Structure 1
Amino acid sequence: MDQPLPRKLAAEFLGSLLLAALVIGSGIAAQRLSPADTGLQLTENAAATAAGLFALILMFAPVSGAHFNPAVSFVDAAFGGLSWRHALAYLPAQVAGCIGGAILANLMFSASAVSISTTHRATAAHGLSEVVATVGLILMIFSLVRSGRAERAPAAVGAYIGAAYWFTSSTSFANPAITIGRMFSDTFAGIAPASVPLFLGAQVVGGGLALLLVRTLYPGVTAAQAVDVVLPHPAASASR
């Protein structure tokens, strides 16, 4: 039986909140534990994010699909796996959750509840990195779904994001909601408001390119197969 929309929105809000708290909180911890070693800070932040994201997807996927990411939700809607009404409803829940997670992370480390980031990331290399990171994330998720391996998505998403921290100069935000949330923490994981439009634009471009690539590589998949993002939705499982 499919979950009612309010329950899905609660799951997307809570999952997004915990994701932002995870990314930013582990960044603050890394910055304090390894103040003189940026490489070690990134290692600690990436490892915590990869492991935590895996757990969060397992936790919330049976309710909402565990998107936590407007790019994933809108591509899912384009494939028919999620209604456009639900995708539009997911968006504010995901953004609000990520902003709340940033505030929570700040408070857990005795910082001001809101501190606007001063970390500028708006370069051509960062923009290209966000296109690549977003394409890779969405292509990986929907490739698994369309090849009948959706149950591997939680581990694969965590592994991909952990790796993309390192092979992209932007450290792979790949998520408009988390990009907005990270503005509200002037810490290791933050992003200055002036850099956000570039990241959001690059993520939209990456989502569009990924949609075309998935259609090219995995054509002819039905809407029933598309709903298994990021784990099989209850409605999809019940209909089989």
Structure 2
Amino acid sequence: MTRKLLAEFLGTALLVCVVVGSGIMAQQLSPGEVGLQLLENSTATVFGLGVLILVLGPVSGAHFNPVVSVADWWAGRCQRSGLTGAELPGYLAAQIGGGVAGAVLANVMFDLPAWQISTHHRVTGGHLVGEIVATAGLIAVIFALARTGRAARSAAAAVAAYIGAAYWFTSSTSFANPAVTIGRIFSDTFAGIAPASVPGYIAAQIVGAALGLAVVGVLYPAPTPAENISHPDHPKDSAHR
């Protein structure tokens, strides 16, 4: 359990460090070019997230996200799979602590005050809808892969790709993660979020996670081995045509 919690702390810290650090670098390299800054920020996040999942996934499952951990506990509570109720609080604490540490580390790397509070207010009705959509999609991707036995080989690419896309198609730029949201309070830069905006974002993320898990429950009511999934080119299907 100690190894798992360390992996979750490090993974969340480095994820937030990537998000905040690339946001700071984007501001410095492309001042005034908001679209280009978002491209630079999202590209670094996609690559960083994919690598972190590959490296730390075998240790802790690479949740790095409280709503993923809660969904994992909720979905597996009847079958006694996933996180247990005893493990869940440790995961949440490690992720939130890691998120704050990652923002502070990014500030220090760029010679900014280590401890700062964002003044970037983000809450509008559209942003909250964007967070619901972003989080629902993220949970659906993760648990659809898990239910079909493809998480081990596909999660890093699929999750990173989804987050990269959601940066651009959601109005909120896809925080989709309470630990990352809390961590980004502590950076008054391009990637920051003002404390007053955080409760709305986290509430939207919780709603989105519930919706995403509900969709997966309907589409995949029981775990299905990947080799049994119907596919036009699958030899089993061809034999029946």
Contact 1:120–1:195 under 8 Å retained in 2: yes
Q: Matches of 1:220 and 1:156 in 2, distance apart?
A: 21
* Number of the residue aligned with 2:73: 77
Residues 1-240 of structure 1 correspond to what in structure 2 (within 5 A)? Answer: 5-80=1-76, 81-150=82-151, 151-221=153-223
- Conserved? CA contact 1:71–1:204, under 8 Å: yes
Deviation of 1:148 after TM superposition, in Å, equals 2.0
Percent of matched pairs sharing the same residue: 61
Q: Partners of 1:221 and 1:152 in 2: how far apart?
A: 16
- Counting matched residue pairs gives 220
The separation in 1 between residues aligned to 2:150 and 2:10, in whole angstroms, is 26
Q: Displacement of 1:82 after TM fit?
A: 1.5
CA RMSD between the two structures: 1.3
Matching residue's letter, 2:7: A
Q: TM-score, normalised by structure 1?
A: 0.89
CA distance in 2, matches of 1:13, 1:97: 5
Distance in 1, matches of 2:23 and 2:93, equals 24
Contact 2:148/2:223 (8 A) holds in 1? no
- List 4+ stretches of structure 1 deviating above 6 A: none
Partners of 1:145 and 1:40 lie apart in 2 by 34
CA distance in 2, matches of 1:103, 1:11: 18
Offset of 1:36 from its aligned partner? 2.0
Report the Cα distance in structure 1 between the residues aligned to 2:181 and 2:57, rounded to whole angstroms: 22
Letter in 2 for 1:183: I
Q: CA deviation at 1:102?
A: 0.2
Name which one, 1 or 2, has greater alpha-carbon Rg. 2
- The alignment partner of 1:195 has SS state of helix
TM-score (norm 2): 0.89
Displacement of 1:202: 0.2
The letter for the 1-side match of 2:113 is S
Q: Give ranges in structure 1 of 5+ residues lacking alignment.
A: 226-240
Highest relative contact order (Cα 8 Å, sep 6+), 1 or 2?
Answer: 1
Q: Distance in 1 between matches of 2:4 and 2:207?
A: 27
